[in-house]
């Protein structure tokens, strides 16, 4: 159908199998790195939030007092601080839950990617 030296054979050339393999590796590696970057960032945020939550809980304990009826004689400013701490604690715990779920998902994606493309994990780690 097409003769050697025909116009079509001069215009069309495919890459070598080695070049195709290299391009595929680059594409998969970019996905692997993106997952790794997202995972590292989420873990760092989780560590920071956990530390801040521990600090807020300690401060809330101080303003809360240790008597069972302390809320009856608590200063208004201490009550306001307690409400702010409660809200901050709820927000922080919600975010920690979100990050924890995301981290599990990122690890799953990384594992799934490595199960399909094991050569990427060997080259990038």
Sequence ranges of the domains in the chain = 17-124
pLDDT, tens digit only, all 125 positions of the chain? 555 555 665 677 788 889 888 999 999 999 999 999 999 999 999 999 999 999 888 877 776 655 565 656 667 777 777 788 888 889 999 999 999 999 999 999 999 999 999 988 776 54
What pLDDT, on the 0 to 100 scale, is given for residue 7? Answer: 63
What pLDDT, on the 0 to 100 scale, is given for residue 63? Answer: 63
Structure tokens at 102: 């995301």
pTM of the shown model: 0.72
The closest alpha carbon to 65, from 53, 77, 74, belongs to 74
What pLDDT, on the 0 to 100 scale, is given for residue 31? Answer: 96
What pLDDT, on the 0 to 100 scale, is given for residue 57? Answer: 84
For the purposes of burial, counting CB atoms within 10 Å of the CB of 23, is it exposed (0-12), middle (13-18) or buried (19 or more)?
A: exposed
């Amino acid at each position: 159908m097409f003769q050697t030296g025909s116009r079509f054979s001069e215009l069309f050339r495919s890459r070598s199998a080695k070049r195709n393999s290299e391009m595929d590796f680059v594409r998969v590696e970019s996905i692997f790195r993106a997952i790794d970057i997202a995972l590292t960032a989420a873990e760092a945020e989780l560590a920071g939030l956990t530390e801040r939550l521990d600090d807020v809980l300690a401060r809330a304990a101080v303003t809360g007092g240790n008597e069972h009826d302390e809320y009856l004689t608590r200063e208004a400013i201490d009550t306001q601080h307690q409400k702010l701490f409660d809200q901050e604690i709820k927000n922080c715990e919600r975010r920690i839950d979100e990050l924890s779920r995301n981290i599990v998902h990122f690890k799953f994606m990384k594992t799934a990617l490595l199960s399909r493309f094991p050569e990427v994990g060997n080259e990038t780690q």
